[in-house]
Amino acid sequence: REPLPHLCSSVFICGFSLSLLGCLPAASAQTMTTRITDAPADARVLERTIDIRIEADGRMTRKERRIIEFLTDFAQEVYADPVVVYDSATQRLTIDVARTTEPDGTVQDTPEIGINELSLPELMTAPAFASVRETVVTHVGIHPGAKAELAWTLEDTAPPPDGIAGGEIALQWAIPIERFELRVSVPDGVPFLSGTAGDVPRADVQSRDGRTEYVWRLEHLQAVNLFESPVHGDVQSGDPDGPRVSFSTQPDLATVLRSMREVADAAAVPDDSIRAMVEEIRGEAPTSAQWIEAAQAFVGGDLATVHLPPGLPFREPSVAGQVLRRSGGTELEKAVLLTTVL
């Protein structure tokens, strides 16, 4: 019977060791070990082109192509799985090219299993926005010196409200861009307004085949400073603050504001659920000042705010009562609800 204490100790040690192993992160979640490098950046974009074709009814077809050269091991963690976000309710996405050219010239196409459409994690609790999807493309054969090419087409399947098209394109990214070209074309006779922010050259304008095309070309764009610039999306989205081009087929700002006001007015319709909420709040806030403060606190703090990724087509806000019943909405929807309540 003497060995029994030793057996118990062995069992305790084994159990303790297994519990420690259980605390370790999965292999896929562990940080990759990288080699010391003198590369000027983890990766760089050799070429990025965006071609946007606007139709008379406002539908847009956007074709984008980019080639990324990987310079360090760490770049694989960040840029080997690019993401394209879109709204499947009004857009159709097609991946045209997904391939890797290795330093020795070997070309590997991304297999079908490496292209997956997913729900956005941040929208999992917002079923009303389930149509917003992301397609993740997993490049193969990625290591320093490899070049990954990705090209896709994003088509509007329905015209936007009032047939007005518009967008905003960030020119910088989290890594340097060697060559960038943006083309936007509209049918002759369709109003087109464009504006730029930052150091952006004037567009080259040419007309042919019944359309007018605006082209912006830039070279040697430095990486945006993510420490000094607030980011609207992640490093994959290419949408940090910085030089950008904005465009619209709306004839003037006054018309834009009028259209937005009409959209908001159509959604600001009180119903029984709104009236019940107003009565409940009024019972606890007898004065006007208390009532306004309580309404703002309820809509602004108690209801969830849905943050949609940048670059999606404009979504008309749901009616105020629906936003209240689902306990959340976008910033615009919550603003419309607060207006309705007050």
9 SS3 class = helix
> How far apart are the C-alpha atoms of 118 and 81, rounded to whole Å?
13
Whether the per-residue pLDDT at 241 is higher than 70: the answer is no
Closest CA to 108 of 121, 93, 98: 98
Task: Name residues whose C-beta falls within 8 Å of residue 230's C-beta, 6 or more positions apart in sequence.
Answer: 240, 241
Residue with tokens 């990025």: 48
Tell me the pLDDT tens digit for each residue of 57-88. 999 999 999 999 999 999 988 999 999 999 99
128 SS3 class = helix
Q: What is the pLDDT of residue 226?
A: 57
Q: How far is CA 38 from the centre of its chain?
A: 31
> How far apart are the C-alpha atoms of 282 and 276, rounded to whole Å?
10
Of 290 and 30, the structure prediction assigns the larger pLDDT to 290
Q: Which helix (H) or strand (E) holds 47?
A: strand 43-54
Question: For the residues of 280-342, what is the DSSP string, one character each?
Answer: HHHHH--SHHHHHHHHHHIIIIISEEP-PPTTPPP-PPPPHHHHHHTTEE-HHHHHHHHHHH-
Determine how many CB atoms are found less than 10 A away from the CB of residue 143. 14
> How far apart are the C-alpha atoms of 233 and 310, rounded to whole Å?
7
Torsion of CA 161, 133, 64, 92, to 10 degrees: -60
Q: Are 102 and 168 in contact (CB under 8 A)?
A: no
Tell me the pLDDT tens digit for each residue of 251-295. 777 777 787 788 888 888 888 888 888 888 877 877 888 888 888
Q: Which range is least confidently modeled, 200-214, 277-291, 295-309? A: 277-291
Q: What is the pLDDT of residue 9?
A: 44
> Taking residues 158-175, what's their average pLDDT?
88
Q: Work out the percent of the chain whose per-residue pLDDT is above 90.
A: 44
Burial readout 39-73 (b: 16 or more C-beta within 10 A, e: otherwise): eeebbbbebbbbbbbbbeebbbbbbbbbbbbbbbb
Q: What is the pLDDT of residue 29?
A: 43
